Amino acid sequence: MQRIGLVLKRAEEQALTLGEKINRFLRDSGKEVLLEDYFGDLAKTWKATVADHIADEADLLVVLGGDGTILRAASLLNSKPTPVLGINLGRVGFMTEISPQDAISELKSALEGSSVLVERMLLQITFPDGQTARVLNDVVIHWGGIARLIDLGIKMGNAREFELRADGLIVSTPTGSSAYSYAANGPLVHPEVEGILLTPICPYAGLKRPLLVPPYLQTELFLRRGEQFTLTLDGHTTVNLDQGVSIQIVRAPLPFIMVQSRVHDYIDLLREKMNMI
């Protein structure tokens, strides 16, 4: 690994302080440091390189922030599954497992090739205009601007379409099963159990319980009734859709690869950080 990308919150002072420390360590180790294109002034100060497509150009992404920053890093992936090392500067740190105190030692292990890498499934959404997006946690469809029931048609693979009347629908990965889906009474799904999880929000008719299907099944959602449908991707991007259109959701062709903490496993995290078990 020669080119290391840093993904951080500009407004987070702790991220800047730790980022500068990591930048010095990497440059002293003979590595090239990449920053996102809107960090041009910081790149000059740190003697780093500005990257237009940081996830494509880096051999490793180091993410400094909380789980939201990890989700943003996942949205940067494009042509290759660049590994991600997440350093927790947030409140929970469910996906950003590594503490700031362990950042340099874990980074050394990653550079030496001795760290543990795990794969997480991504979902790919295709919009009516053919554009696509990927999510690590979930895509949520609901009525924009007002609380009202929506009508969806849901088609899984070659099966017949079925109905959902509800406040909304969460389509999540196993990683995302511990997020909004869990709050909507969805099950916890271990991230090594691949599948696509559909969790209705306050269902009234049709699908009334969460449904987990194999990852190879294409899910198609038909927006049958409702105005100003809103699609929220991983909690950070919203897309407005019109009645009558449809979207397709499949397992993304690339996985999300994470550097796993050597201190905690998934069950530890559920118990210690999320207080879920």
Per-residue model confidence as pLDDT tens for the chain (277 residues): 899 999 997 778 899 999 999 999 999 999 999 999 888 889 999 999 999 999 999 999 999 988 889 999 999 998 899 999 999 887 665 777 788 999 999 999 999 999 889 999 999 999 999 999 999 999 999 887 677 789 999 999 999 999 999 999 999 999 999 999 999 999 999 999 999 999 999 999 999 999 999 999 999 999 988 767 899 999 989 999 988 999 999 999 999 999 987 666 777 777 776 666 6
pTM assigned to the model: 0.90
Q: Which structure tokens are listed for 31?
A: 């590595």
- Catalytic residue, from 56, 67, 167, 268: name it: 67
Calpha distance 114→109 (Å, rounded): 5
Q: Where are the CATH 3.40.50.10330 domain residues in the chain?
A: 3-121+255-272
For residue 37, indicate whether it is catalytic: no
Fold of 3-121+255-272: Rossmann fold (3.40.50)
- If one looks up domain 123-251 in CATH, what number appears? 2.60.200.30
Ranges assigned E (strand) in 43-121:
49-51, 60-65, 84-88, 116-120
- What are phi and psi for residue 13, nearest 5 degrees? -60, -40
CA-nearest of 261, 252, 237 to 81 is 252
Decide if 34 contacts 55 (C-beta within 8 A): no
